[in-house]
Chains A and B, each alone.
Chain A
Amino acid sequence: SQQGEEDPQALSIQEGENATMNCSYKTSINNLQWYRQNSGRGLVHLILIRSNEREKHSGRLRVTLDTSKKSSSLLITASRAADTASYFCVLNQGGSEKLVFGKGTKLTVNP
């Protein structure tokens, strides 16, 4: 099964700056989810965006989806040191019950 590819693989910013992570994929999808993983911990669900949606917001998070370009982005505004984590783009492809996880973007927010 095909996974999303996150870009960049690693990102280091200063507290207060915005962080943008991108995800590209190759096949059609039902929806796309973003998860966060703190080092050595389980994953936490952030946002689910359906294939017929273009943008969703949750607090300081903004996710966009462009199905024509087969890409999604996750924007974290006014970042905090506590946002330091790995962020995963997760696909659900048509006809599948399973989720496919990318390799993630490792975000470091420096105080």
Chain B
Amino acid sequence: DGGITQSPKYLFRKEGQNVTLSCEQNLNHDAMYWYRQDPGQGLRLIYYSQIVNDFQKGDIAEGYSVSREKKESFPLTVTSAQKNPTAFYLCASSPKTGSSYEQYFGPGTRLTVT
């Protein structure tokens, strides 16, 4: 988990509220990613960013938004439009996007919406 921090570890929200998950990295990586993991499942890509002030939708971007104002930070907002927000959210970074690079993961944030 070193080099990437996610906070908080657990987050509880009421339905209808927006919530922002934090992700910070000190690895000087250009690329950052947000994934969602549901029980017994693999990771699904929500959004990714290759450089500051630029980001692309992943496979399940609906109901989520991101920003990349600083190289170190890539916060994810789970909006009230996301129909099933309860999940484990993982942030990752890599030196650049592309197949040659491994991704470094944070410890994750478990979001529960009731």
Which residues of A pack against B, CB within 8 Å? 1, 3, 30-31, 33, 40-45, 48, 88, 92, 96-99, 101-104
B84 within 8 A of A: no
Residues of B within 8 A of A (CB): 1, 4, 35, 40-45, 48, 50, 58-59, 88, 90, 92, 97-100, 102-108, 110
User: Could you count the A-B residue pairs with CB atoms below 8 Å apart for me: how many are there?
Assistant: 56
Flag if A42 contacts B42 (CB, 8 Å): no
**Contact: B103 with A104, CB < 8 Å?**
no
Q: Judge whether A99 and B103 touch: CB under 8 Å.
A: yes
A48 to B50 alpha-carbon distance, docked (Å): 21
Contacts of A1 in B (CB 8 A): 59
- B107-A41 in contact (CB<8A): yes
Tell whether, in the assembled complex, residue A42 and residue B108 are in contact, meaning their CB atoms are under 8 Å apart. Answer: yes
Query: Are A42 and B102 also in contact (CB < 8 A) when A88-B42, A101-B43 are?
Result: no
